[in-house]
Amino acid sequence: MASGNAIRGSRVGAGPMGEAERGETAPRLRISFWCSNGHETQPSFASDAQVPDTWDCPRCGFPAGTDQENPPDPPRTEPYKTHLAYVRERRSDEDGEAILAEALAKLRGEL
């Protein structure tokens, strides 16, 4: 038999929340965005809000646009560069040879 506690599992203030208590919801628009992988997402915006040109796809993270036929291109990710790759961008092979020769001369005690 039940214990007789009618509000078991409830908390103070809990109850049916209707439109009368919360107020009316703002009018909304659902806009479709498509990414380059063909994923569609439909966020809702307030009817008087400015809709952005792009939206991040929640599935793949690529940018999505409102034109299904021409979605935005995915961002180009640069590969990880090592310290040596950055040095090679700043110095030519001749500069590297000169620095190496100077370092070796210093090690040998010639300078």
Q: Where is the binding site for Zn(2+), in residues?
A: 35, 39, 57, 60
DSSP 60: T
Tally Cβ neighbours within 10 Å of residue 11.
7
Tally Cβ neighbours within 10 Å of residue 34.
21
Residue 63 dihedral angles phi and psi, to the nearest 5°: -70, 145
Q: Binding site: which residues?
A: 35, 39, 57, 60
